[in-house]
């Protein structure tokens, strides 16, 4: 299991389009991937779950991945949330 705390650096936060991109990125991996906030834990491959978080730029989340490609999954999500993709 790989865990990483990440601060969202996307200017618009996680609105509809950025959430859709994040779900697409997460769905490329075989690992189970969850995004955790202070009070919620959702499947990063679920667009409805991700939308329910309503995350803004500057908020911190924890990405948790478990599986054979977990490190690559966390790295890709981190790059996206940092605005690299």
**Strands (DSSP E) along the chain, which ranges?**
2-7, 32-36, 41-43, 60-66
Q: What are phi and psi of 55, to 5 degrees?
A: -85, 145
Q: With b meaning 16 or more CB within 10 Å and e meaning fewer, what string describes 53-76?
A: bebeeeeebebbbeeebbeebbeb
At 17 the pLDDT is 92
Distance CA 19, CA 69 (A): 21
At 85 the pLDDT is 55
CB atoms within 10 A of CB 8: 21
At 42 the pLDDT is 98
Interval 22-41 mean pLDDT? 97
Superfamily of domain 2-81: HPr-like (3.30.1340.10)
Domain boundaries, the chain: 2-81
Interval 68-72 mean pLDDT? 98
Q: Is the pTM of this model over 0.85?
A: yes
Summarize pLDDT for 53-64 with one digit per residue, the tens. Answer: 999 999 999 999
């Amino acid at each position: 299991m790989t865990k990483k705390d990440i601060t969202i650096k996307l200017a618009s936060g996680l609105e509809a389009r950025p959430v859709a991109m994040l779900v697409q990125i997460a769905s490329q991996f075989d690992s189970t991937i969850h995004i955790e906030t202070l009070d919620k834990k959702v499947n990063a491959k679920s667009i409805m779950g991700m939308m329910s978080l309503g995350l803004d730029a500057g908020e911190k989340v924890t990405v948790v991945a478990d599986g054979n490609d977990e490190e690559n999954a966390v790295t890709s999500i981190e790059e996206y949330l940092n605005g690299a993709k």
